[in-house]
């Protein structure tokens, strides 16, 4: 059984803060990808039905998400004092 005690506030607040930071960094990185490409990624995927572009963008999204998750987990462990 999971016990909820007075020590739940700080980890919950840290998780919420890191989630917000991670989402902001993720949105920023997607914006950078869109600006660096010389064409509209959205048009290529939606209108032109470019499957290869969809796979590339999906891979970039997964890669960025993995990097952000790993960096935020490492930071939260050292700040939160967890195992």
* pLDDT at 33 (0 to 100): 83
pLDDT digits (tens, 9 = 90+) for 18-48: 888 888 888 898 888 889 989 888 888 899 9
* pLDDT at 23 (0 to 100): 84
* pLDDT at 12 (0 to 100): 74
Helix (H) or strand (E) holding 61: helix 51-80
Domain ranges of the chain: 35-75
Rounded Cα–Cα distance for residues 29 and 64 (Å): 8
Q: What confidence category does residue 52 fall into, taking pLDDT thresholds of 50, 70 and 90?
A: very high
Q: State percent of the chain over pLDDT 70.
A: 77
- Report the candidate in 28, 11, 25, 9 with the shortest Cα–Cα distance to residue 69: 25
Residue 1: pLDDT above 60? no
* pLDDT at 20 (0 to 100): 86
CB 22 within 8 A of CB 38: no
CA atoms within 13 A on the CB side of 56: 11
């Amino acid at each position: 059984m999971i016990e909820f005690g007075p020590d739940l506030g700080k980890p919950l607040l840290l998780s919420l803060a890191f989630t917000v930071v991670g989402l902001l960094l993720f949105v920023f990185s997607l914006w950078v990808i869109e600006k660096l490409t010389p064409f509209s990624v959205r048009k290529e995927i939606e209108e032109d039905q470019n499957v290869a572009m969809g796979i590339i963008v999906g891979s970039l999204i997964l890669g960025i998400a993995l990097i952000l998750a790993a960096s935020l987990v490492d930071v939260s462990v050292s700040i939160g004092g967890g195992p």
